[in-house]
Chain A
Amino acid sequence: MSDAPDFFDELSGYDGAPRGPYADFCSWFDRQDPARLRRKSKEAEVFFRRTGITFNVYGQQEASERLIPFDIVPRIISAREWARLTRGIEQRVRAINAFLHDIYHRQEILRAGRIPVELIARNEAFLPQMIGVSPPGGIYTHIVGTDIVRTGEDDFFVLEDNARTPSGVSYMLENRETMLQMFPELFSRVPVREVGDYPKMLRRSLAACAPPACTGRPVVAVLTPGIHNSAYFEHSFLADQMGVELVEGDDLRLVDGRVAMRTTQGYTPIDVLYRRIDDDYLDPLNFNPASMLGVPGILDAYRAGQITIANAPGTGIADDKAIYSYMPDIVEFYTGEKAILKNVPTWRCSEPDSLAYVLEHLPELVVKEVHGSGGYGMLVGPAASKREIAAFADKLKSKPAAYIAQPTLALSTVPVMTRSGLAPRHVDLRPFVLVSPNRIDITPGGLTRVAMKAGSLVVNSSQGGGTKDTWVLEE
């Protein structure tokens, strides 16, 4: 089944025989009529279009709505694998919250010399306005989407921590819904853990972090930049699933010191705002004055304990790509334990030795912008032409501190349905983590992104990547 033995295939390992977690699925799959499965694949697309699960693509002429390709072969994770992943993720998320609290208060980690001071001081993701501010419940990152890649039977790496406003959870939920509709019989054969509780848990988690000013049942709302945002579908989906209002900046204003939304009956205060806009746009009075998306003065209300903002402003300093390479130290510093999940080795191009190495080895490396996201502006060395590499080298030399480089990982593959049968494609995994004062919940599963092109290592949806339903098996 696997014609790429250089990579670990999660279905067939290196030798071709189905691995344990896939056994039940394979015995079902082998008895299916391939033509029927292909028909089902088409059905899935119709289902997504009708539901309106689309995303807008930036940088295209017409504000077009595109579907993210969905593949019907699930990505399956055993209970044992999942247990280890969750321990590692939980450890990392605890460390991130401790780090954020420290970095905006006593800065012990800088005093201890574990992270260079200038990395924080000169970092745009560090918000001086947050110094000395303690968020309600002590939580900075209520929602985290930890990107994980796998390279072998026991080799998992954290690629990114996504502690700002991770997206994709709506696809996790809709992918499962689609699979349940298309292959109900499969779920009676394979014991798959449920993901559908996520919206309920998200709401509970947000409500548990209500600010001091909240007196009754916490009023929660989702803040979106609007219908033209690429993730608008997800924003409205989550608001709908939680049963809370979906607001935009122009629905909100400060009334008696509290952030309130304009309703048909006047202004109603909001207790917890799950914002899906970046820090920079959150408050034109305190951040980018040109922002039309935010709420003037919301940061002042926040600092006065009048509202909870999730995630807290300034969390970006924890998932900054320049900070990433220090994560093993950060985990150890705050938890006193070694990191359970590995980091990908990272060269900081700001350091002359590293830069020299990176420039010499560009064809083998993946180079990312420190402040970039979504796969924009990155170089995948092995897939790039000579000319692209030369052009990138120039960019790198002119602004080395803006880049980090990592080895090209031998990402694991999972088969996808193609016209000529199953074929391996590279995947990553984004589990979703909810943090509240007394607990951390990790939904069993997450978003599996898959590069739809043979050999491609880029899984980002903005670059043509697709998704799969992700199954975590019961014990």
Chain B
Amino acid sequence: MLGKTAGGLFWMFRFLERSENTARLVDAGFRIALTRSMAAEAEWASVVGTAGVRDGYLAKYDEFRAASVVDFLLRDRSNPSSVMSAIDSARSNARLVRTALTREVWEATNECWMAMKEVLRRPVSENDLPDVLATIRRQNALVRGALTGTMLRNDIYNFAHLGTFVERADNTARILDVKYYVLLPSVSFVGSSLDNVQWETILRSVSAQRAYRWLSDGDANPKQIANMIILDQRMPRSLAFCTGQIRENLNLLAANYGVRLACHDQAEAAEQRLLDNSIDTIFENGLHQFLSDFIVSNRALGLRIEQDYRFYG
């Protein structure tokens, strides 16, 4: 496979994942704004921070008002992480690697792009927002379904998955990092309505409300929430799940090509570091520090993969 093709696949799936996560963040912010209008501005500010686009946003707006945040995160082409920009980039990469994709995957991606252009043609009103967000998730799911259902399980598939999980690990870590203070025991007032809402937001941001109900004893508990999102290998958006998938796909590449590279050691070390922790040690050593370190090492791993597999000339 061409190095460029591997890179195109990796970034196609990073951008698809990003678009879905951005939509999910907007969904969580929207929910809070509806239920707690007093805290809305702070909540939208933290959504923008989580998406990692605070500077770009402040260059354009002074206040964190719902309409402008939603517009910036969903439609604004000057924001490279907006849903529309991300879908554009995903499709450009898909065109670049068209020969590596089945017709089904290409068409699902192209249809996703057409659907997004349609629903994001005009600013999205509050009334339409739930539908639009659902469309984004559904279109993403169609691409994923086509990928799972029609693609050969070879290096193409591995690079696609690496993109998905490197991006997802980053997004999940950032969601936690922006909200880490509400998970800290020192400021938690168990049962207070503020915390319940905040925790709910975190769970909603990673689509884990239902999983949490089933896996926990029902009570919202910051340590359990953090444990699930960081260390639970059954949770498909947890850091442990993502690092496991990255390691697995890299190992499949190593077996397929018959060569182990620096990125393989790096991925295994990263996973080991994560799993050596318990949620207690993470809290003892500092949740924020832990998440910052994770984000840095995840980014470094992404760069290592790009170099080891010659994405660029």
A residues sitting closer than 8 Å to B (CB atoms) are 49-52, 227, 232, 236-237, 239-240, 245-248, 250-251, 253, 261-266
Contacts and interface: CB of A to CB of B under 8 A. Distances in A.
B3 A227 contact: no
A265 B259 contact: yes
A236 B92 CA distance: 13
B304 interface: no
Nearest to B103: A51
B4 A262 contact: yes
Contacts of A52: 95, 106-107, 110
Contacts of B111: 50
Interface in B120-173: 155, 159
Nearest to A261: B2
B313 interface: yes
B96 interface: yes
A351 B106 CA distance: 53
Interface string B100-115: 0001001100110010
Contacts of B313: 250-251, 253, 262
A296 to B, nearest CB: 12
A246 B6 CA distance: 13
Contact of A263 (B3, B95, B103): B3
A248 B155 CA distance: 21
A246 B259 contact: no
Given A49-B114, A50-B107, A251-B4, A264 B310 contact: yes
A264 B92 contact: no
Nearest to B158: A264
B3 A264 contact: yes
Interface of B: 1-6, 92, 95-96, 98-99, 103, 106-107, 110-111, 114, 155, 159, 253, 257, 259, 309-310, 313
A245 B2 CA distance: 8
A264 B257 contact: yes
A49 B111 CA distance: 9
Given A227-B95, A251-B3, A264 B107 contact: no
A245 B103 CA distance: 16
B106 A264 contact: no
Contact of A240 (B3, B99, B107): B99
B3 A262 contact: yes
A227 B253 CA distance: 28
A363 to B, nearest CB: 44
Contact of B98 (A49, A240, A263): A240
Given A50-B107, A52-B110, A232-B95, A262 B257 contact: no
Contacts of B155: 264
A43 B2 CA distance: 36
B310 A236 contact: no
Contacts of B257: 264-265
B253 to A, nearest CB: 8
27 contacts: A50-B107, A50-B110, A50-B111, A51-B110, A52-B95, A52-B107, A52-B110, A227-B95, A227-B96, A236-B95, A236-B99, A239-B99, A240-B98, A240-B99, A247-B2, A248-B4, A250-B313, A251-B4, A253-B313, A262-B3, A263-B310, A264-B2, A264-B3, A264-B159, A264-B310, A265-B257, A265-B259
Q: Shortest 3 CB-CB distances between A and B: which pairs?
A: A236-B98, A264-B309, A240-B99
A237 B101 CA distance: 11
A262 B310 contact: yes
B107 A246 contact: no
Chain A contact residues: helix, strand, loop or mixed: mixed
Most buried by B among A52, A227, A247: A52
A250 to B, nearest CB: 5
Contacts of A250: 4, 313
Contacts of B1: 263-264
A45 to B, nearest CB: 12
Most buried by B among A50, A232, A237, A265: A265
B96 to A, nearest CB: 6
A248 B95 CA distance: 13
B99 A246 contact: yes
A248 B159 CA distance: 20
A246 B98 contact: yes
A253 B310 CA distance: 14
Most buried by A among B2, B107, B155: B2
A262 B103 CA distance: 25
Given A49-B110, A251-B2, A253-B313, 13 more contacts: A51-B107, A232-B95, A248-B4, A250-B313, A251-B3, A251-B313, A262-B4, A262-B310, A262-B313, A264-B1, A264-B6, A264-B159, A265-B259
Nearest to A221: B2
B10 to A, nearest CB: 11
Contacts of B98: 236-237, 240, 246
Contacts of A263: 1-3, 310
A220 B68 CA distance: 51
Nearest to B93: A227
Nearest to B95: A227
Contacts of B3: 251, 262-264
B31 to A, nearest CB: 33
Contacts of A261: 2
Contacts of A49: 110, 114
A248 B4 CA distance: 9
Contacts of A264: 1-3, 6, 155, 159, 253, 257, 309-310
Most buried by B among A239, A240, A261, A263: A263
Contacts of B5: 245
Contacts of B114: 49-50
A250 B96 CA distance: 13
A250 B5 CA distance: 12
A337 to B, nearest CB: 42
Contact of A245 (B99, B106, B253): B99
A97 to B, nearest CB: 30
A263 B4 CA distance: 8
B95 to A, nearest CB: 5
A212 B40 CA distance: 71
B130 to A, nearest CB: 26
B280 to A, nearest CB: 41
Nearest to B159: A264
Contacts of A227: 92, 95-96
B105 to A, nearest CB: 12
Contacts of A245: 2, 5, 99
Contacts of B159: 264
Contacts of A237: 98
A247 B3 CA distance: 10
